[in-house]
Amino acid sequence: MAELDTSSKDGKGGKVRSKKASTRVDLTAMVDLAFLLITFFMLTTTLNKPQAMDLAMPDKDEKNKDDQLAVAASRTMTILLGSDNKLEWYIGEPGKSAPTVEGYGKNDIRKTLIENSQKIKQSFGKDMFVIIKPSDKSVYKNMVDILDEMHITNIQSYGIVDISQPEVDELKKQQIYQ
């Protein structure tokens, strides 16, 4: 049992005083209450649930090859993920437009995605389609970052595709495939 004793026993000589009863406070009930409150709050709080992005992937069956959506190259933006937190992007077909090397973040690829999406929406009246091609030298964090940018910039149509050898050569030429 926990208790608090506040009696004074100085042992000094002097006058004889009347004996005072010592004050005793039983702290058992307070300790029990504290543990009950701690237990209550631990059991009633909700922990943060992990947030996951829904990603729909198509079937790899041959019968679904005919169901592909035709998208004009002029409203398609291709993003090649390289090494050292760098990426390369171009609009249209490869080799017909100059590729641009950028980083991740709000002043780099996010700004580019917003600007290009607005230009394509004004020109064609349709949304931009983004093709994401991760390379062997890109890291998982880069893939998550670019998917986050798709969500932040509200781009609804995008796909993840394997990178081709000419595109790897382009990354090597830009020195972001190391």
Instruction: State the CATH number of the domain containing residue 119.
Output: 3.30.420.40
Count of domains forming the chain = 1
Cβ atoms of 163 and 134 closer than 8 Å: yes
Q: Provide Rg for the chain, Cα atoms.
A: 33
For residue 11, pLDDT beyond 60: no
pLDDT 10s digits, 54-84: 766 666 666 655 666 677 778 889 999 988 8
**Residues whose CB falls within 8 Å of the CB of residue 31, separated by 6 or more in sequence, listed in order:** 2
Q: Which domain holds residue 75?
A: 71-173
Q: Is residue 86 part of a domain?
A: yes
Weakest-pLDDT range from 54-58, 105-109, 125-129: 54-58
Q: Is residue 85 part of a domain?
A: yes
Q: Is residue 55 part of a domain?
A: no
Determine the pLDDT at residue 92: 85
Determine the pLDDT at residue 12: 59
Q: Is residue 87 part of a domain?
A: yes
Q: Is residue 23 part of a domain?
A: no
pTM over 0.75: no
Q: Is residue 137 part of a domain?
A: yes
Q: Is residue 44 part of a domain?
A: no
Cβ atoms of 153 and 132 closer than 8 Å: no
pLDDT 10s digits, 20-40: 777 788 888 899 999 999 999
Q: Where are the alpha helices (DSSP H) in 6-125?
A: 28-44, 109-124
CB-count exposure of residue 136 (10 Å: 0-12, 13-18, 19+): exposed
